[in-house]
């Protein structure tokens, strides 16, 4: 038996959890801190960080870590995939169901009892894409986009 869910829910922690769940986005600790401060003006960013870490460890929230991008958090703990913009760091939910076949395939191909899996899609978000087409000097070529898609094709996962 784990004591995951017996974590003491302090008032600060409760407010952080409520505000995060109300956001339906993937805020950074900074963004969440700004929001929580409206209710608890004296709360520090360090306190928000510490509580986010504890809430994530206890499974109340999800911590989204992508290499080279600021850590983000969300109140949704259901299995789902994320899309990260490589230009601005924005994170969105990928509107596709989690692939249980993929997990099963890895489970069957290895000695692991696979418990969960994470898939991170990297790309350029619509607003960054729009601003780069308006500004031709910052434009990413069509060829780059195609190779992004190819490198994230699931077939490569099995090769």
The footprint of Zn ion (CB under 5 A) covers 74, 85, 87-88, 90, 93, 125, 128
Residue 98 CA to residue 78 CA, distance in Å, equals: 10
- The residue among 24 and 39 lying less far from Zn ion, judged by its C-beta, is 24
- The residue among 107 and 140 lying less far from Zn ion, judged by its C-beta, is 140
Residue 15 CA to residue 9 CA, distance in Å, equals: 10
**E-assigned strand segments in the chain:** 62-66, 69-74, 81-85, 91-94, 120-123
Nearest distance in Å: CB 91, Zn ion: 7
Nearest distance in Å: CB 16, Zn ion: 17
- The residue among 86 and 102 lying less far from Zn ion, judged by its C-beta, is 86
Nearest distance in Å: CB 125, Zn ion: 3
Beta bridge partners of 122: 84
């Amino acid at each position: 038996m784990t004591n995951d869910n017996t974590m003491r829910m302090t008032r600060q922690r409760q407010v952080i959890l409520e505000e995060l769940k109300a956001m339906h986005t993937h805020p950074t600790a900074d963004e969440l801190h700004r929001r929580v401060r409206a209710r608890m003006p004296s709360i520090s960013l360090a306190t928000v960080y510490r509580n986010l870490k504890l809430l994530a460890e206890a499974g109340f929230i999800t911590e989204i870590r992508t290499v080279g991008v600021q850590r983000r958090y969300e109140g949704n703990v259901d299995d789902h995939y994320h899309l990260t913009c490589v230009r601005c760091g924005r994170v969105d939910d990928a509107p596709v169901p989690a692939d249980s076949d993929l997990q099963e395939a890895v489970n069957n191909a290895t000695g692991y009892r696979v418990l969960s899996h994470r898939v991170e899609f990297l790309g350029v978000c619509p607003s960054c894409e729009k601003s780069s087409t308006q500004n031709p000097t910052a434009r990413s070529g069509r060829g780059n986009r195609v190779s992004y898609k190819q490198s994230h094709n699931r077939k490569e996962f099995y090769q």
